[in-house]
Structure 1
Amino acid sequence: MSGYVLRYFAGGNTAKGFSHLYDSNLRGLDRVFILSGKSALEKKSLIHRVMNNWSGKSLNLEALHSPNDPDSLEGLIIREFGFGIIDGDSPREIGKEFVGDRWETIDLDVMDLSSIPSGTKQEITRLTAKRDHAFDQAYQSYAAGLRVHDKWEKLYIDQMDFKKADYVADRLLKKLFLKNASGKNRTTRRRFLGAATPKGPVDFVGNITSGLTRRFFLKGRAGTGKSTVLKKIVLEAEKRGYDLEIYHCGFDPASLDMVIVRELGWAVFDSTQPHEYFPSRRGDEVIDMYELTVTPGTDELFANEIAEIERQYREQMKAGRIYLAEAKQINDQLESIYQENMDNARMDEVYYDIQKEIKLLAKN
């Protein structure tokens, strides 16, 4: 996949608050720039600028999208060069235990706050608190949604035949793994399959699975063992020594939504709402956990309970999205204040310095 751009989320607005997997993707990189500064827009603009310069040059790039603005990037990795650039400000936390000697923090704050009128400073403080409150409200809504979702899962778990579920998983493992990997150091990258955003749920399933020869679509209701199957696949892949891409659920980060072993050319993923897909090409296969493992007639028997649970769940998901949209709207107001005090010449200087660094890495 030379010249390919892999797009994914490494951070997410979840039922457990803001959750991230940046460390998993930055680990092992030699030269990393961690951007700091009040303006998220300036950091995103710089990352996009670097991305645009290196796109179309027969390089595989990794574009880390922002869950708060999914059309924008919060990170870029050129793994071939050992290079990365990432927005490192709160709520992100870049782990210290694996930071290399050539990792560098760049402070993009060139604003002279002392020259800003006191009324503007107060407005920044007010808007920042209001934005953070909107995020907190979103996380509370998603947490409430997860509690409802747990009830949904229990209803189906109580009607599930676990021996049949084990049989389905075992059959799938035999299809996926015909041999062990050749002896090499195994790597695992953890990401999110999708993210809750101000626009609603967003995912990059089509992009992530592009080029794979087989895709297995796990169907079924909540609690029918999809994540459990994926965890079994992970354990088997680790035992056999394969490189792994593990995609966590953007709603409940403890749950898995997709596993990929590119060396074997396949992906297995939870293909239900809000990331529901259907077979569209040769090599696609559906595995319906509800049909294969749950007592027939369960949907009909508990129709009223299911309808009420679904209503409550959608209500909380809608509330969470509205709060995220509110947080973005407030942040846009903050950005308009920051932009009035930005030094574009300084941003150009930082960009050209980073470009020089990447060119040096490309020669090595």
Structure 2
Amino acid sequence: MGKNRHYFAGDHTAKGFYTLYDSNFQEVRRLVKLDGVLRSVKTKAMTRFAEEHNKQGYAVEWIHASSHNDWLDAVIVPELQLGVYDSQCADITAADTAVETVHTNQYVNRSSLKDKERTIHRYQQRISRALTAAQASFQTGLFVHDDLEDIYIRHLDFAKANQLAKDWQHYLHADVTATGQTPIIKHRFFGASTPNGVMDYIPNITEDVGKRYFIKGRAGTGKSTFLKKLAAASEELGYNVEMYHCGFDPESIDMIVVRDLDFCVFDSTDPHEYFPERKTDEVIDLYEKTVMPGTDEKYEKPIQKLTIKYKSYMKKGVTFLKKAKRNQDELDSIYRSAADDHAADYVFQTIRDKLK
């Protein structure tokens, strides 16, 4: 069995729906685009395609849909440079890539949907409104989170923070030889706010990484800046880097993975808090090393108040994602009722034929 790696490449965030799809398809040379309305059917076909290659011993990347826990946005077989994606999640452009299109609507009896057009339109509107409301809630939560960050930023020793980053850049790259190659940088999300709540794939992504560094700290203690500096050092030496963005504020970085150097460093704080499990795991506590002692105690009440407030908006956003999913399921049910019973089989076989 080949290795399965799971992640997101699009997410409903505080800054709208944020897409990172293109970055992950830059090495794909043959790509199948699945058009049409049958999202669950397309997911079944992609799942079969992924499982078939996995059984043949190939590693497979599963790109999940953040707005629906049961759906896929895409799958990639890196070793064969093959990919399949759902056009409803993104319009992927990749240089030097041959793109084939499968029109899944050919398996839908459109005439049987004529008397359901108003119902379909109503569900589409509900989905759009719910997703917009979710993003608005996350945005308000980010404004509150900014106030929380400000407390720690005002008590952060920037000189110590900069020196700590330099020390770790040197430590992680000591005795590392520059490759002379142009590195490949891929941007992803390891987690997302989904209809089932906030979830992540950190254990899956890091399970075969030898050295894991868990960053502890608070909002505003420079975790993202620290990670960006470490990534820049690896990139400068010519090593490929996986950059995992924050699913809440996508302009921040929550994890970097440098597989050729066998290490990863990630923000291990709520809502993706993990603790060392292996002998090789190590904690980097930015709060302890860079923030004025006693800050937590001095601002305990405002910190608690702001934390509760921002989390309430996160929960509110998730309730809107749940509402969107309920309507997506209803809409998908209508489309499937008008589709050929063997549509997923036909789509899967067409994908195989196009990627032989």
Cα offset, 1:113, TM superposition: 2.7
The one-letter amino acid of 1:263's match is D
Q: Distance in 2 between matches of 1:43 and 1:129?
A: 22
Matches within 5 A, 1:85-164: 85-90=84-89, 92-95=90-93, 98=95, 100=97, 102-110=98-106, 111-118=108-115, 120-164=116-160
Is 1:259 the counterpart of 2:262? The answer is no
Which blocks of at least 5 consecutive residues in structure 1 are unaligned? none
Cα offset, 1:18, TM superposition: 0.9
Cα offset, 1:99, TM superposition: 6.0
Query: Cα deviations across residues 238-264 of structure 1 (Å, max 9, x unaligned)?
Result: 211111111111111100001111011
SS at 1:55 equivalent: helix
Q: Distance in 2 between matches of 1:201 and 1:175?
A: 33
Which residue does 2:332 correspond to in 1? Answer: 335
Which residue does 2:204 correspond to in 1? Answer: 207
Cα offset, 1:329, TM superposition: 0.5
The one-letter amino acid of 1:30's match is R
Contact 2:67 2:195 in 1 (8 A): yes
Query: Cα deviations across residues 189-214 of structure 1 (Å, max 9, x unaligned)?
Result: 11112111011111110110111111
Contact 1:108 1:347 in 2 (8 A): no
Q: Distance in 2 between matches of 1:108 and 1:99?
A: 25
Q: Which runs of 4+ in 1 moved over 3 A?
A: 344-347
Which residue does 2:320 correspond to in 1? Answer: 323
Matches within 5 A, 1:161-180: 161-178=157-174, 179-180=176-177
Give RMSD over aligned pairs.
1.5
Is 1:306 the counterpart of 2:300? The answer is no
Matches within 5 A, 1:194-233: 194-233=191-230
Q: Distance in 1 between matches of 2:109 and 2:25?
A: 32
Which residue does 1:78 correspond to in 2? Answer: 77
Q: Distance in 1 between matches of 2:204 and 2:333?
A: 33
Cα offset, 1:269, TM superposition: 0.5
Matches within 5 A, 1:36-47: 36-47=35-46
Contact 1:148 1:309 in 2 (8 A): yes
Which residue does 1:268 correspond to in 2? Answer: 265
SS at 2:260 equivalent: coil
Cα offset, 1:36, TM superposition: 1.4
Contact 2:102 2:351 in 1 (8 A): no
Cα offset, 1:174, TM superposition: 1.5
Q: Distance in 2 between matches of 1:349 and 1:127?
A: 27
Q: Distance in 2 between matches of 1:3 and 1:185?
A: 27
Q: Distance in 2 between matches of 1:103 and 1:231?
A: 33
Query: Cα deviations across residues 166-190 of structure 1 (Å, max 9, x unaligned)?
Result: 1211121122102233233321111
Is 1:35 the counterpart of 2:34? The answer is yes
Contact 2:65 2:72 in 1 (8 A): yes
SS at 1:140 equivalent: helix
Contact 1:135 1:323 in 2 (8 A): yes
Which residue does 2:11 correspond to in 1? Answer: 12
* Corresponding pairs, count: 354
Cα offset, 1:345, TM superposition: 3.8
Q: Distance in 2 between matches of 1:82 and 1:230?
A: 29
Q: Decide which of 231, 234, 237 is 2:234's aligned counterpart.
A: 237
SS at 2:132 equivalent: helix
Which residue does 1:24 correspond to in 2? Answer: 23
TM-score (norm 1): 0.94
Contact 2:40 2:332 in 1 (8 A): yes
Q: Distance in 2 between matches of 1:115 and 1:201?
A: 38
SS at 1:116 equivalent: helix
Which blocks of at least 5 consecutive residues in structure 2 are unaligned? none
The one-letter amino acid of 1:281's match is R
Contact 2:44 2:344 in 1 (8 A): no
Q: Distance in 1 between matches of 2:113 and 2:96?
A: 35
SS at 2:55 equivalent: coil
**Identity level (%):** 40
Moved more, 19-28 or 319-328: 19-28
SS at 1:291 equivalent: helix
Contact 1:25 1:189 in 2 (8 A): yes
Moved more, 183-192 or 304-313: 183-192
Contact 1:181 1:240 in 2 (8 A): yes
